[in-house]
Amino acid sequence: MTTTVNDELKAELLEIALDAAHRAGAFLRDTRPDDLGVAATKSSAVDVVTEMDIASEKLITGLLADRRPDDGVLGEEGASVEGSSGVQWVIDPIDGTVNYLYGLPNWSVSIAARKDGETIVGVVQAPMRAETYRAVLGEGAYVNDRPARVRPAPAFGMALVGTGFGYRAERRARQAEVVAHLIPEVRDIRRAGSAAIDLCDVATGRLDAYYERGLNAWDYAAGDLIAREAGALTGGRPGEPLSTDLTVAAPPGLFEPLQARLEELGAWHD
């Protein structure tokens, strides 16, 4: 599907996404309490929400409601607005919440804008890296103001591959089986803790590839567009778009064998 979206709308959505991501990122970086605790849990006891996830989502949705009151919103911490404009914002107010909770630097704010179901703007703000990744459909990807480009595909055995694990024990056990097969076949595996940043790391050549089962749209919507605009292919199972079942991102030449191997290993099911 290709949506015709005028340049003025793209520019407006990008400007708003950048503003919201910068504000939320600075707020999270500058006001993180030393005694940050868990406000609630979701799919399991280790799937946490902090007061800062909630405050960050409020900050972003408040700004969106002011600037674009007719748009829909889908946020990880429960924001859900139908909207009437055809534009929907998909927000992860902290991607990498466990890193944030522990004071590890690899966390981000992820904001995507979709028009009639297609992602047209993606922004990932990584405050502790002092980096903003952004892409507009058809207009390339950037890290701060430099163009982002994937690394050329290496041989499968030389690939540095990022991945992640879900929060439920049964899913993790299965994900560990898949990774146990893959690790002797590639250069190495990384588990950095923010899917949005992992996708941006493919976009900037810091990873050769990334895959994960079980992501939600707010984890991958912005990073997917940024990776594609930087030259990556993204998808799910062979012939399918990326989804909660499976997300795969890599440059052409590595994407195909990785996707095929993940299919053989049954990486899409628990």
Residues that bind ligand IPD (CB under 6 A): 76, 92, 95-97, 164-166, 193-195, 212, 214-215, 219
- In whole angstroms, the minimum distance from the beta carbon of 64 to ligand IPD comes to 19
Return the residue nearest ligand IPD (CB atom).
164
Nearer to ligand IPD, 193 or 251 (CB): 193
Nearer to ligand IPD, 201 or 212 (CB): 212
- Alpha-carbon distances, residue 119 vs 87, 137, 222 (angstroms): 9, 7, 8
Nearer to ligand IPD, 115 or 174 (CB): 174
- In whole angstroms, the minimum distance from the beta carbon of 14 to ligand IPD comes to 23
- In whole angstroms, the minimum distance from the beta carbon of 10 to ligand IPD comes to 26
- In whole angstroms, the minimum distance from the beta carbon of 43 to ligand IPD comes to 9
Q: How far apart are the first and last CA of the chain?
A: 30
**Residue in this structure with the two tokens 């904001």, named with its chain if needed:** 111
* Three-state DSSP string of 114-147: EECCEEEEEEEEEHHHCEEEEEECCCCEEECCEE
Task: Give the residue from 98, 148, 101 showing the smallest Cα distance to 123.
Answer: 148
- Alpha-carbon distances, residue 121 vs 3, 5, 13, 75, 124 (angstroms): 12, 11, 7, 16, 10
Nearer to ligand IPD, 5 or 212 (CB): 212
